[in-house]
Structure 1
Amino acid sequence: MGTKDERRAAREAVAAYHEARLAELVARVAEAVDHHRAGELDAFEVDEVLHQYHRATRKLWTFCEPSGAQAELTARVIRRMADEGEAIDWWERGAARRGG
């Protein structure tokens, strides 16, 4: 476990990542609502978007849970992904799984 300052910096990095990814998910909902208002999606289609948003945000929240050493580990994972140009597709992670 790092120093108090390292733990604080890790929590801040995870919080910033969480907020940025959450904003991307919210934008998906806003887009669906806009399409509904334009008559391009029906209420059921928007409802499915809302369900996918909810599933995705739960998974994102679990990933970003900033507790103790876990925040430092998560911050390292986030840094590694950024360095390697990788990203987790939280929207896809929230997709409904059919069957099985």
Structure 2
Amino acid sequence: MPDKSERREARSVIAGYHEAELGELVARVGEVVDRYRAGELDAFDVDRVLFQYSRAAKELWKYCNYGQVEMIAALIRQRPPHDWWERGAPRERS
């Protein structure tokens, strides 16, 4: 059973990963909003990106918050997932 310092370290690893990945998602939104303000995109384009951001951020949150912290931290250290934007993409209807 991990001690408090190991759990604290695991939570720190997860928090750092979560913040970095969330920052990348927010940066995508910022780029699209800037393009909207420049007249390159319409409101519907921005809405689609916001929808995808919301889904991606939720998937990232679930990954970082559901499960044993030591296990999640170990996964992040070994092979962190990095495709959160794609995980938030709307599903194509067939």
TM range (shorter): over 0.9
Contact 2:14-2:73 at 8 Å conserved across structures: yes
1:27 alignment partner AA: A
Q: 1:66, CA displacement in angstroms?
A: 6.3
2-structure distance, mates of 1:12, 1:88: 18
2-structure distance, mates of 1:21, 1:60: 8
2-structure distance, mates of 1:88, 1:99: 25
1:47 alignment partner AA: D
1:80 alignment partner AA: Q
1:77 alignment partner AA: L
Matched, 1:57 2:51: no
1-structure distance, mates of 2:42, 2:25: 20
Among all aligned residue pairs of Structure 1 and Structure 2, give the percentage whose two residues are the same amino acid: 57
After TM superposition, the score normalised by the length of structure 2 is 0.93
Contact 2:25-2:85 at 8 Å conserved across structures: yes
Contact 2:21-2:82 at 8 Å conserved across structures: no
Structure 2 match to 1:46: 46
User: In the TM superposition, what are the counterparts of 1:53-92 in structure 2 within 5 Å?
Assistant: 53-65=53-65, 70-81=68-79, 87-92=81-86
Structure 2 match to 1:9: 9
After TM superposition, the score normalised by the length of structure 1 is 0.88
Matched residue SS, 1:9: helix
Give the gaps of 5 or more residues in structure 1: none
Q: 1:81, CA displacement in angstroms?
A: 1.2
2:90 alignment partner AA: A
Which whole-Å deviations, capped at 9, do the CAs of 1:32-87 have from their partners, x for residues lacking one? 000101111100000000000000000000000066xx1111100000016xxxx4
1:55 alignment partner AA: R
Q: 1:88, CA displacement in angstroms?
A: 2.2
RMSD: 1.4
